Structure 1
Amino acid sequence: MTPLSHDMTVGTIAAELPGAAELFRAKGISFCCGGTVALSEAALNAGLLPDRLLTDLQALSDAAGREAPESTADLIAYILSRYHETHRTELDFLIPLSQKVERVHGAKENAPLGLAEALIALKDELDDHMAKEEAVLFPLMLRGGHPMIVHPITQMRHEHDEATELLVKIEHVTNGLTLPAGACGSWTALYTGVRKFADDLVAHIHLENTVLFPRFEHAAA
């Protein structure tokens, strides 16, 4: 991840730093429609001190990746169990729930129209992405790497960017995962689940981009 600074946009930070999205939500900072705003400006607009907000984000950055096992084999096993299987299970639950909420509440203000479509697109993207990691990239890594491994890693990074774009769309169609007054249990459960899923996916991508992949990119350089 690019070093944090006052000039970084809140959209970039939310997409790349685990925990940043939840921090921004708690501080009342929009990183969806207002995602192109610089951190310093977003802080001032929310009545916050830019340096204090940057310090809070730096603490998140310092903590990111600490969960990662040291050995590559253990790290890959962790990614498979903590993220791959979790994403599959949660999307299988969230997609029909989002379809139900759109069907029942679609005429209401702030209904998450388009959420199911985005989740389905994300499921298709992740199913293909994770299958390629499991069948090709991770076995190469477990065998110690390969001189050409940078090419599949580059493709995985590109697909991470595509998944991040879908997360931005989800944030947009849900109005920042903000529940309307009087939201039913299904709507509440949906947003709770989507928030957890999105935060997990950001952490998953960050772990691969900043911890796992560089081990092999540096070796192949």
Structure 2
Amino acid sequence: MNYLDQSLGQLARRIPGATRLFDQHHLDFCCAGNRTLRTAAQEAGIAAEPIADALHTLQLRTDDNAMKDWSTATDTELVDHILRRYHAVHREQLPELIRLAQRVEQVHGDRQDCPHGLTNHLQRMAQELESHMHKEEAVLFPLIARGQGSLAGMPIDVMRMEHDSHGTELRRLEDLTNHITPPRDACTTWRALYLSLRTFREDLIAHIHTENNILFERFAPAKVH
């Protein structure tokens, strides 16, 4: 795909993570989003090709492992996948989501359809999710890596309860954003924010599913009600 001759606005709206990349290179995707990546980079005096390569990587990650059946992976392969595909990605996603939400609330705070309170909600989600992931990385995953997953029943129960809390927070996120649907006249930043929010939501749901229904079931099957 030719990223160089697409506008910054188009790329920001279509590729989750593009806004963070553009911001790192000081490329204005909002007010000057009609410029192509090639033109914007040239005007900024930087090389466009490495940015295009990074966009390609982000696009590939969006579809990463979509066809792989992780139920057939070994315990350590599955843990490594969770750490790489979800823990590391959430740590990239949330700071950028918070930054974009702050900008939208600051610029459009006088509008009734502005997602008032979204920044605070995302900051709270980031804190809770970081705490959750740290527990898994410090306690649960090392047990599994040592082949002691049979001893992990109590930590798994705690993680499942926290997953339920994450689900509640996602529903609140949808309430704040009209089911993550931007207004028709939303600016590029607002649309990019909601694109990234949808990706974050999908990733977090897939993250919880992979742990609850694949990894945790190997050591502490959930009770059927």
Shared fold by TM > 0.5? yes
Cα pair 1:69 1:78 within 8 Å, conserved? no
Structure 2 unaligned regions, length at least 5: 1-65
Report the equivalent of 1:172.
175
- CA shift for structure 1 position 172: 0.3
Matches within 5 A, 1:43-192: 66-68=69-71, 70-145=73-148, 147-192=150-195
Separation in 1, partners of 2:79, 2:114: 38
Tell me the CA shift for residue 144 of structure 1: 1.3
Give the match for residue 207 of structure 2.
Answer: 204
Structure 1 residues not aligned, in runs of 5+: 1-62
SS in 2 for 1:89: helix
Structure 1 stretches of 4+ with a deviation exceeding 6 A read none
1:182 CA displacement: 1.2
Tell me if structure 1 keeps the 8 A contact 2:70–2:78: no
Q: State the Cα deviation string for residues 16-45 of structure 1 (Å, max 9, x = none).
A: xxxxxxxxxxxxxxxxxxxxxxxxxxxxxx
- Deviation of 1:164 after TM superposition, in Å, equals 1.0
How many residues end up aligned between the 2 structures?
156
User: One-letter code of the match for 1:161?
Assistant: D
Rounded to whole Å, the distance in 1 between the matches of 2:68 and 2:184 is: 37
The TM-score, its normalising length taken from structure 2, stands at: 0.66
Displacement of 1:66 in angstroms is: 2.4
Question: For residue 119 of structure 1, what is the amino acid of its counterpart?
Answer: L
Residue 106 of structure 1: CA displacement? 1.2
Contact 2:150 2:219 in 1 (8 A): no
CA contact (8 A) 1:65 1:211 kept: no
Contact 2:105 2:116 in 1 (8 A): yes
CA separation of 1:202 and 1:64: change in aligned 2, threshold 3 A: farther
Greater C-alpha radius of gyration:
2
Contact 1:90 1:197 in 2 (8 A): yes
The AA in structure 1 aligned to 2:139 is: V
Displacement after TM superposition at 1:176 (Å): 0.6
Which amino acid letter does the alignment assign opposite residue 152 of structure 1? P
The offset of 1:89, in angstroms, is 0.3
Partner deviation per Cα, 1:31-75 (whole Å, 9 max, x = no partner)? xxxxxxxxxxxxxxxxxxxxxxxxxxxxxxxx9982455101000
* Aligned amino acid, residue 191 of structure 2: T
In structure 2, how many angstroms separate the alpha carbons of the residues matched to 1:64 and 1:112?
A: 34
- The two structures, once aligned, show a CA RMSD in angstroms of 1.7
What corresponds to 2:38 in structure 1?
Answer: none
